[in-house]
Amino acid sequence: MRLRTRLALAFALLALVPLAVVVLPTLSRLRDTLSRELDARMEAATTSAQESLERSGTTARRAVEELVDSAAMEDLAREARERPTRAIQAGTAGALMKTRGLTVLSLFDKDGTVLSSGHLPARRGDPDPALFAVTKERSAKPVPVRVEVRTPSGLRQLPALVTARPVDYGDLRLWAVGGVLLDEGLTQHLARLTQAQVSLVADGAALATAGTAAPPTVARELPLGDAATVRLVFSRAAAREAEEGVMRAFLLLAGLGGAFAVLLGLLVSRWMTRPVEALTEGARRVAEGALDVRVQSDATGEVGELVQTFNHMTSELKATTERLVASERIAAWQEVARRLAHEIKNPLTPIRMSLETLLAAQEARHPRFPELFKESAGVVLEEVDRLRRIVDEFSHFARMPKPQLAPVDLSELTQSVLSLYATPPPGIEVQPSFQAGVVARVDRDMLTQVLVNLVKNAEEAMADKGGSLRVRVKGTEADAIIEVEDSGPGIPLENRARIFEPYFTTKEGGTGLGLAIAARILQEHGGKLEAGGEPGQGARFSVVLPRAEGGAPAR
């Protein structure tokens, strides 16, 4: 982050922190107050709903008791004793239910058979175990049960608050079981009473719902035994709106104060940081290679001294760098020349010795001169080929072409390279292992050259005792990897750091450029060549390339 930006932010924080110190505790206290008010309102509404349910049950209980104690019920019981088949008809309970304000009423005999049902006339003559079970209750309060009623959509079970009272006449006992249904009318009444969304829930499904509650919401429940649950949903929208109103006011004040503070900070910081930014830009340009940069500034004091010191430093740095680059260039070419001269001098010795032998044999007119000439010519030609190979590899190393990148399936490419070694030398076993779908963007010919070199080196390392050559292709999320591992003598630890240097070799007749060229090819591809394995247990070379997922492999 730039110094100017930091100073501007510091001014903004100085303006916002006092405001936050005052507003945030105030907002917290407001939230607590609104939360307590909502809790109190929910508690009062829940209590009102509970009392309303109890009043409904009490009203139903009194209506049933009045019905049982009425002269009409006494007459009905007397007639039922004298004329059992004619006294109680299907519509008897319906008429009694309407006059008492009940919505559930069934008349049972002592065995639990329905003699008449006001809420479901078709039940006459059948048992109703769920409703008759209320007669076994010992509580004087109404009991929540589910009763079956007929609705426009068919038979349906609805919760109800019912009570049971016996009707005795002589040795005859009848039961009157009545009460009120808990339906949509109840939910509408409770919604008006509590100003909440009220739902009547049974078996996880809402039987009736009334009222609305804007989110966010808080729920309270009133269980009615196993029959149903009354769920009250209260809205926290008013409290949320109050909190958001205070927060909007705070944000507006914070925005205005922050904008003013930032503007003031920018003006002050611009005046303070201009010389420092000039130095920063100068340092960046020096890092990019412009060593002749000079910072122009009219700053005074310590900053002015810093500017002068920087300008003097860049002047000295330019001169020192030019001398260093020249020295490094000379040293590098001296090293290359030394190594190349050493590699070329080795073949010259046998060439010179062969020619001196031929000259001596010719002067002495030695009878084996033709035979000696043939042997010496073979040596000379072999060493000349070696010289040509050294020069060719040096030329290739010095003038390596730019790779032509394309998506390549590394498993397919490695398989084609191994096909060149379909018949390995005696004692050497090739063990390939390929993972499908490992694709990288490479120059196919250049990567083939790398793999051929690695496989050839592995075979040469096992030429004496044989062994196994393991070639694996695998991929990670980011990399595509080809491993070439042999069971030869391995790489000594003291040589591992130098094996990728040009002209470094431990093989008789080697040029020391093979691994150097392979490492450089992989660098041109954005990858790397890694050496591993334990000395005495074999060597492992890993070709690591950036993986190209989804690319169509080039063939």
Helices assigned H by DSSP within 111-156:
129-132
- So what's the pLDDT on residue 29? 80
169: Cα separation from own chain's centroid: 79
Q: Which residues of 131-170 are buried (b: 16+ CB within 10 A; e: fewer)?
A: bbebbeeeeeebbbbbbbbeeeeeeebbbbbbbbbebebe
Lowest mean pLDDT among 93-102, 107-116, 444-453, 543-552: 543-552
- So what's the pLDDT on residue 409? 92
34 versus 527: the higher-pLDDT residue is 527
pLDDT band at 250 (very low <50, low <70, confident <90, very high): confident
DSSP-derived pairing of the beta strands 172-181 and 154-169: antiparallel
Q: Is the pLDDT confidence value at 333 over 60?
A: no
Mean pLDDT within 443-472: 87
Whether the link from the prior residue into 84 is cis, omega within 30° of 0, is no
- So what's the pLDDT on residue 8? 67
Mean pLDDT within 337-362: 70
As given in the structure block, the two tokens for residue 290 are 């412009």
Whether the CB-CB separation of 430 and 485 falls below 8 Å is answered with no
Mean pLDDT within 292-298: 71
- Look-up: residue for tokens 């999320």? 477
Mean pLDDT over all residues of the chain? 79
As given in the structure block, the two tokens for residue 194 are 């509590």
Torsion over CA of 39, 44, 46 and 47, rounded to 10 degrees? 140
User: Directed axis angle between helix 3-69 and helix 237-287, to 10°?
Assistant: 160
Half-sphere exposure of 33 (CA within 13 A, CB side): 8
Whether the CB-CB separation of 293 and 321 falls below 8 Å is answered with no
DSSP-derived pairing of the beta strands 143-151 and 154-169: antiparallel
199 versus 393: the higher-pLDDT residue is 199
Q: Look up residue 467 and give its amino acid.
A: G
Q: Is the pLDDT confidence value at 474 over 90?
A: yes
As given in the structure block, the two tokens for residue 497 are 């750091």
Distance CA 221, CA 53 (A): 13
pLDDT band at 552 (very low <50, low <70, confident <90, very high): very low
Backbone angles phi, psi at 144, to 5 degrees: -80, 125
pLDDT tens readout for residues 219-237: 888 888 877 888 888 888 8
Whether the CB-CB separation of 259 and 11 falls below 8 Å is answered with no
Strand partners, 217: 235
Q: Quick one: 406-546 is in which CATH superfamily?
A: Histidine kinase-like ATPase, C-terminal domain (3.30.565.10)
pTM attached to this predicted model: 0.43
Q: What is the 3-state secondary structure (H, E, C) of 342-405?
A: HHHHHHHHHHHHHHHHHHHHHHCCCCCHHHHHHHHHHHHHHHHHHHHHHHHHHHHHHCCCCCCC
Distance CA 186, CA 181 (A): 8
70-181 — its CATH code?
A: 3.30.450
Q: Is the pLDDT confidence value at 398 over 80?
A: no
Instruction: Give the best-scoring range by mean pLDDT among 63-67, 339-343, 509-513.
Output: 63-67
- So what's the pLDDT on residue 501? 75
Instruction: Give the best-scoring range by mean pLDDT among 93-107, 314-328, 338-352, 418-432.
Output: 93-107
As given in the structure block, the two tokens for residue 283 are 């340092």
Instruction: Give the best-scoring range by mean pLDDT among 277-286, 299-308, 475-484.
Output: 475-484
240: Cα separation from own chain's centroid: 32
As given in the structure block, the two tokens for residue 72 are 């009409």
Beta strands in 182-333 (DSSP E): 197-202, 205-210, 217-224, 228-235
Helices (H) and strands (E) in the chain, counts: 12, 16
Q: Which residues contact 524 (CB under 8 A, 6 or more apart)?
A: 400, 402, 403, 446
Q: Is the pLDDT confidence value at 363 over 70?
A: yes
CB burial of residue 317 (10 Å; 0-12, 13-18, 19+): middle
76 versus 332: the higher-pLDDT residue is 76
DSSP-derived pairing of the beta strands 172-181 and 428-434: unpaired
- Look-up: residue for tokens 């990858």? 527
Mean pLDDT within 298-306: 71
304 versus 439: the higher-pLDDT residue is 439
- So what's the pLDDT on residue 439? 92
All structural domains of the chain with their residue ranges? 70-181, 406-546
Whether the CB-CB separation of 27 and 248 falls below 8 Å is answered with no
